Each structure stands twice: as C-alpha cells, then as structure tokens.
Amino acid sequence: GDSVTQMEGPVTLSEEAFLTINCTYTATGYPSLFWYVQYPGEGLQLLLKATKADDKGSNKGFEATYRKETTSFHLEKGSVQVSDSAVYFCALIGGATNKLIFGTGTLLAVQP
C-alpha cells in the first residue's frame, strides 16, 4: 500500500541555518504530496503542497519539489528561525479515496 518515509528527528539547528527534512513516498499512480506543521500544543496546519511531478510548493520561506523520478518531496528552508520549531509531517493522498497517509513526523528544534 501507499506509504511515506521521512527522516527521523529530532533535528537541532542554530538560527539562520539551512534546513532539509527528507521525505520519500511509495504510491501507485500520481499522489498529491503535502507538508503539514504542528506547533507545540496546536493542531496541524497545511504548510505547502504539490499535486504533480516537478511542481514546487512554497510557503513562509519553506519549499518542496515533487520529484517523481526519486519519489521524493524534501522540505527545505534557507534560513530557519526559532519560531520554526515544530513537528513537520510529510503526507500524501493517493488514488480516489482522499485518505491522507502521514509519515512519522520530524521534530525540528531551532536554537538562538
């Protein structure tokens, strides 16, 4: 079945460092791909998405590119801030069921 694999955390960075959180997927057909963010004590927020190969999703300085050839959707940000500290979930929707399948989540801690 469909699945999402993302790098384990925690990821600890200093402010203004470059961020990469790896995400790869397994799916039949052409899934839509998402990054969600969960700030401490809050629910999930959609951060960005991409619905077809080579699409780049971007929001709040974060970017991810849908790479069909490597089945990847890595999250990047050029300069992280303390306020970016959160758990980041990679997810996909495949087929016609509209069911979201999540990765395990990656905790990002940004230190001043």
Sites of contact with another protein (CB under 8 A): 32, 34, 36, 42-46, 49, 51, 89, 93, 98-100, 102-105
- Residue closer to another protein by CB (options 9, 65) is 9
Show the beta-strand stretches assigned E in the chain: 3-6, 11-14, 19-21, 23-26, 32-38, 44-50, 56-59, 62-65, 75-77, 86-93, 100-102, 106-111
Report how far residue 71's alpha carbon sits from residue 75's, in angstroms, rounded to the nearest whole number.
Answer: 13
- Residue closer to another protein by CB (options 24, 105) is 105
Residue 107 CB, nearest distance to another protein (Å)?
9
Residue 59 CB, nearest distance to another protein (Å)?
12
